[in-house]
């Protein structure tokens, strides 16, 4: 099976459609489809960008018609908690998504909740040769875990390894877990926006900060080629990203 793993979309629907077209997906009654390939969304569908509901609709349609799968990102998890009725801080662009969802029906919001709640923390693909996760999946945090282990996996999968301190720009200090990764399984993730996609010890980062005005990137697997489309504009500011 061949996959296209797509980084953080954050409401950039135009760029998503352009990227899928560039990857050979065509628009059909069942959404965007490819005859031989499956799209894998690495999480963070919404927040900050201009077209959050449109992204949800496209992704949900692709997933329900088995043209795509997804893993949970930290923004997806927070949106899910909001839709459940939990009190959450609508920061980091969530307010934008909520405003869009307020114009939709209860039924649609319930559909989004059910969809997000069904997404796993990691996805093992190609007979465990490939692991897709939003932020981080060191060897012992890959696949389906339970109990205490799942709790630790959730923090890792959604937020990555952090130092507990903030950097000079006010962002959480991060530990580069890829530096010590020694697994045979290829891990593909998003979460940390970079100007260019990267690879280190079989760990691929495909978040290229589209919503910050850079580009949206996919990794074609098993070809291991990056394919990107440029952002149409800068939708949000990021101090690391000029």
* Closer Cβ to Mn ion, 44 or 100, answer by number: 44
- Candidates 67, 6, 8, 9; CA nearest to 38 is 67
Write down the least CB distance from residue 102 to Mn ion, Å: 22
* Closer Cβ to Mn ion, 4 or 8, answer by number: 8
Helix, strand or coil, per DSSP, at residue 158? helix
Write down the least CB distance from residue 195 to Mn ion, Å: 15
* Closer Cβ to Mn ion, 37 or 100, answer by number: 100
Q: Which spans of this chain sit near Mn ion (rule: CB under 5 A)?
A: 8, 44
Q: What are phi and psi of 26, to 5 degrees?
A: -120, 155
* Closer Cβ to Mn ion, 33 or 214, answer by number: 214
Write down the least CB distance from residue 101 to Mn ion, Å: 18
CB of 55 closer than 8 Å to CB of 16: yes
CB of 174 closer than 8 Å to CB of 198: no
Write down the least CB distance from residue 64 to Mn ion, Å: 23
How far is 222 from 225, CA to CA, in rounded Å? 8
Nearest residue to Mn ion, scored by beta-carbon proximity? 44
Where residue 170 falls (left for φ over 0; alpha for ψ -120 to 50; beta otherwise) is left
* Closer Cβ to Mn ion, 58 or 74, answer by number: 74
Cα 227-14-187 angle, rounded to 5 deg: 35
Write down the least CB distance from residue 46 to Mn ion, Å: 10
């Amino acid at each position: 099976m061949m996959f296209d793993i797509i980084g953080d979309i954050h409401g950039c629907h135009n760029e998503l459609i352009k990227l899928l077209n560039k990857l050979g997906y065509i628009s059909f009654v069942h959404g965007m489809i490819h005859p031989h390939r499956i799209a894998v969304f690495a999480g963070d569908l919404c927040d900050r960008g201009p077209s959050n509901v449109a992204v949800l609709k496209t992704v949900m349609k692709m997933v329900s018609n088995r043209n795509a799968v997804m893993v949970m990102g930290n923004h997806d998890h927070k949106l899910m908690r909001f839709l459940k009725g939990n009190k959450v801080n609508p920061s980091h662009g969530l307010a934008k998504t909520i405003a869009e969802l307020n114009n939709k029906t209860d039924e649609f919001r319930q559909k989004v909740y059910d969809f997000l709640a069904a997404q796993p923390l990691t996805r093992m693909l190609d007979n465990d040769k490939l692991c897709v996760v939003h932020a981080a999946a060191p060897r012992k945090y890959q696949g389906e875990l339970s109990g205490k282990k799942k709790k630790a996996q959730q923090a890792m999968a959604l937020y990555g390894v952090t130092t507990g301190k903030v950097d000079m720009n006010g962002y959480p200090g991060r530990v580069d877990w890829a530096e010590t990764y020694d697994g045979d399984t290829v891990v593909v993730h998003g979460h940390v926006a970079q100007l260019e996609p990267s690879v280190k010890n079989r760990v691929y980062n495909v978040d290229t900060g589209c919503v910050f005005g850079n580009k949206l990137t996919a990794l074609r697997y098993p070809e291991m080629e990056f394919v990107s489309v440029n952002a149409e504009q800068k939708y949000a500011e990021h101090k690391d990203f000029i």
